[in-house]
Amino acid sequence: MSGEQPKVLLVVGGGIAAYKSCELVRLIRKGGGDVTCVVTDGGQQFVTPMALAALSENPVHTTLWDLKNEAEMGHIQLSREADLVVVCPATADMMAKMAAGIADDLATTLILATDKPVMAVPAMNVRMWEHDATQRNVTWLKQAGVHVLDPDEGPMACGEFGYGRLPEPEVIWREIAGHLDIEVEELPPAAIGAPASAQVGEDEVVEDVVAEDDGVEEDDFVEAIEPEEEVEPKTGGFAGMLSSLISRTTPKRTADEIEAEYLEEPEEAENEVSETAEDDASKSETEGSNEETSADELDVDPDAVPDLGGPLLATKGGASSAPPTDPEAINHLVRTGAGDAAPEPLEGGEELPVAPAELESSDEDVLGGENFAVKKGHRPLEGRHVLITAGPTWESIDPVRYIANRSSGKQGFAIAAAAAALGAKVTLVAGPVALKTPVGVDRINVESAEDMSKAVKGALPADAAVMVAAVADWRPKEYRGEKMKKRGSAPPALALEENPDILTNVAVGDNRPELVIGFAAETEKVLDHAKTKRKRKAADWIIANDVSGDVMGGDTNRVHIVTEAGVESLEEMPKLEVAMALAERIAQSLSKVAADG
């Protein structure tokens, strides 16, 4: 670029992600660019022209029917003055108009009239993004020379999960800077996508601190509890309260510096010992040369032997070896004060039990070693595929710690066993539990929610899906490859992100089973929450239960079957009976669907 400020024309479309355009404007200005905003009618529902005008320090254009500007053909001038036109967010409607050459408002008119490069940043629902019409429009736009960024994957404002999220403003700014040949300071990967500032008080803004890259790898950098400089405590706001409680004096150090400090300590200790020994030796020599004089003067017997048998000193060779914990361990010698010797046997000659060569499996059988009592020939689920999830999920924080819940998986395993007993082909996707696989069940072991989501997707299609697993709602945003260490009294900052909604994805997916059943573990307003969940998750049934007691991990359960027709409440009974009752009702429902179809 030349010495002049690069000019960006930012078109803000009508989507919930429009709020990120404010941060994008700030980043463009901070990077040395000049930005002018055009906001569609839909965009104005999410972000105001006043906010964009304040951030850009330029007028914001909203209509094609501005008499003053259009007297000078303002839309033509806007499209020609910019070095780059950025459409962010680019909704499905906006991209369809761009691909078709429709110019029915200021934004689409100037996009059609521009002779400068155009960049589109899509943001929409995952189904809208994956639709053939949208993908066709994207292909046409790319063929026309428009640079279309790929959307991010993640949770949507509508509650679904997938591709369609607007990329973070920092990522968009880097793409813009690349087009304008602007150098951007490299940030650690963890910093991309993090908010640049957080609003704390009315006028107070706390900027995120990003470590400067001085040739130190990000993983080697250790952040101290306190930054380098001492900061005067602030008098107001939440940050002011924190700064008044925590002093800021310890400098940041790299991992190499910390390791070097620990390595120096033994060397210093050895040097001190050697120096002390040398001082003692020289002192002994000096005392030896004056020994006769000192003895004569003090009238001390030079041949006297001091008594070293006091309680502070142990008698050499008096200690005995510790008794062995296993008779098989007497196959070695123990070094004692009197020399090497065999370990002493236990008093009384009692022998400890010898551990078996192979440990028996400790997995619990939810059926107690028995089978469901089913009438001969009663196989209403024969020829049906039933997909079941069970157990908790573990969301790893580091190699040692993880986020989990109290689910035992017993109810899900019992339902799998009951469905198999009624003749179904059963696929059981199980979280980390110590339960035996029921007879006739195909088991897939998983650990995290993402693993379970992939396994469920791979097990489809199915006639019925029974989502019993207690899937963690959140997972750590960043996995630490090394165990997190304590840093004084300050707890570690644990950023979380949302896990995929497995039940919703199955219920609205292309391979939707005929019957989709979810479970709702509630502690209050059980039926109200279950009814709301059934509609929100697009499920056919929700099996609700109150887990405020000892249901999780216990052997009994009391459930309510919430359907579109109403609520059926079962009495409290063993989980095995609950499982068979649900399996019978699943068979009846599938038979009814088949008869109606």
CATH of the domain at 446: 3.40.50.10300
Looking at the chain, the number of H-run helices and the number of E-run strands are 17, 27
Pairing of strands 197-199, 84-90: unpaired
- Choosing from 176, 198, 220, the residue where a domain stops is 198
Q: Give the CATH number, domain containing residue 111.
A: 3.40.50.1950
Residue 513 forms part of a structural domain: yes
Place of tokens 């998986």: 409
Is residue 148 included in any domain, yes or no? Answer: yes
Enclosing domain of residue 499: 385-476+493-596
The whole-angstrom separation of Cα 120 and Cα 18 is 13
Number of Cβ within a 10 Å radius of residue 388: 30
Report how far Cα 194 is from the mean position of its chain's Cα atoms: 14
Q: Determine, yes or no, domain membership for 289.
A: no
The verdict on residue 295 lying in a domain is no
pTM score, whole prediction: 0.43
> Considering its fold, how many domains does the chain have in total?
2
State the sign of the Cα–Cα–Cα–Cα dihedral 431, 433, 438, 442: positive
Of 182, 198, 214, the residue at which a domain comes to its end is 198
Q: Is residue 569 part of a domain?
A: yes
Q: What is the pLDDT along the chain (597 residues), one digit of tens a residue?
A: 445 789 999 999 999 999 999 999 999 999 889 999 999 999 999 999 999 999 999 999 988 876 555 445 556 778 788 899 999 999 999 999 999 999 999 999 989 989 899 999 999 999 999 999 999 999 999 999 999 999 998 888 777 888 999 999 999 999 999 888 887 766 554 444 444 333 333 333 333 333 334 433 444 444 444 444 444 444 455 555 555 555 555 555 666 776 676 666 555 555 555 555 555 555 555 554 454 444 444 555 556 655 555 554 445 555 555 554 555 555 556 666 666 666 665 555 444 444 444 434 457 787 777 678 788 889 999 999 999 999 999 999 999 999 999 899 999 999 999 999 999 999 999 999 999 999 999 999 999 999 999 999 999 999 999 999 999 999 999 898 888 887 666 677 788 999 999 999 999 999 999 999 999 988 889 999 999 999 999 999 999 988 877 767 677 888 999 999 999 999 999 989 999 999 999 999 999 887 776
Q: What is the pLDDT of residue 326?
A: 53
Q: Are 366 and 413 in contact (CB under 8 A)?
A: yes
Q: Is residue 536 within 8 Å of residue 520, measured between CB atoms?
A: no
Question: How many angstroms separate the first and last alpha carbons of the chain?
Answer: 66
Residue where one domain finishes, among candidates 151, 167, 198: 198
Catalytic residues, by residue number, are 158
User: What per-residue confidence (pLDDT) applies to 245?
Assistant: 52
Do you find a cis peptide bond into 380, omega within 30 degrees of 0? no
DSSP code per residue over 443-468: EEE--SHHHHHHHHHHH---SEEEE-
Q: Is residue 572 part of a domain?
A: yes
Cα angle at 586 between 585 and 589, to 5 degrees? 85
At residue 376, the pLDDT reads 86
Whether residue 348 lies inside any domain: the answer is no
Which DSSP string do the residues of 240-282 spell out, in sequence order? HHHHHHS---PPPEEHHHHHHHHHHHHHHHHHHHHHHHHHHHH
CA distance 58 to 9: 11
CA 387, CA 512: separation in Å to the nearest integer?
11
Asked if residue 377 is part of any domain, the answer here is no
Cα separation, 56 vs 59, in Å, equals 8
